[in-house]
Amino acid sequence: MEVLNPNSSTENWLRLLPGRWCLLYCTGRHIGLTLRQPTPRVLISDAFLTFAEAPESVDPILSLTSDIGFKIMPESDWPHDKSGTEGNLSVTTSARITPGRIYTNAEDGKESSSRITSSRYLGGKWGKAAKMKQLPASLPTASVNVDENDVDVSMSCGSTLKVKSARKVLQEVRTQTPPEMFDLSKIVCGTYIDSRLMVLRGVNGSALLFVRSNRTSDP
């Protein structure tokens, strides 16, 4: 899919990025509540990334906001009672979008993962669609350069929390969500985008898949 990106130019990214995107899946590790007994029990609802054009900006700079919804559930019967106090964690910063590349042919001494991926890709229906004999050594991307010196973090909750409890809630939200959704500087680049789907890459190589969200239809 990244190889077949129809909108690889920076101009297309700047045109398609603005809007609200809902996190659909992340290839990184997933940590939930099933095998753990954290205090408090926190259930993650939706996570969004919102890109907005920065006003009065000459350079291609966008405002970037991460919104993570969560619910603090009663500890005694949380597997059966999912009601609780709702809250939201918001992180806002600015990001500069520039041209970049991601390299696919790094060797590791044995058969590289890129060769394995290439053989699977070229042997399937994607290979017939692309009509390629081998994958390219690199792919064009949109580099996301986040301003780490201008970050605003806020957390709201439907009930009053003590400082210690709020810290535990924040830590639990961070544990259950991809690190790129809290520390936006960990977002390295974008590798695929169209009018409804977007793929971003994190510093650890994980891929985050987003679908465009219609703000008016969200609860």
Q: Output the 3-class SS for the chain.
A: CCCCCCCCCHHHHHHHCCEEEEEEEECCCCCCCCCCCCCCEEEEEEEEEEEEECCCCCCCEEEEEEEEEEEEECCCCCCCCCCCEEEEEEEEEEEEEEEEEEECCCCCCCCCHHHHHHHHHHCCHHHHHHCCCCCCCEEEEEEEEECCCCCEEEEEECCCCCHHHHHHHHHHHHHHCCHHHCCHHHEEEEEEECCCEEEEEECCCCEEEEEECCHHHCC
Choose which CATH entry (1.10.1760, 3.40.1800, 2.40.128, 2.40.160) describes domain 10-103+144-217: 2.40.128
**pLDDT tens across the length of the chain (219 residues):** 788 788 889 999 999 999 999 999 999 887 776 667 777 888 899 999 999 987 766 667 899 999 999 998 877 666 676 778 899 999 999 999 999 987 765 544 444 444 434 444 445 555 555 555 566 677 889 999 998 888 999 999 888 788 898 999 999 999 999 999 999 999 999 999 999 999 999 998 899 999 999 754 444
Could you state, in order of their start, the residue ranges of all structural domains in the chain? 10-103+144-217
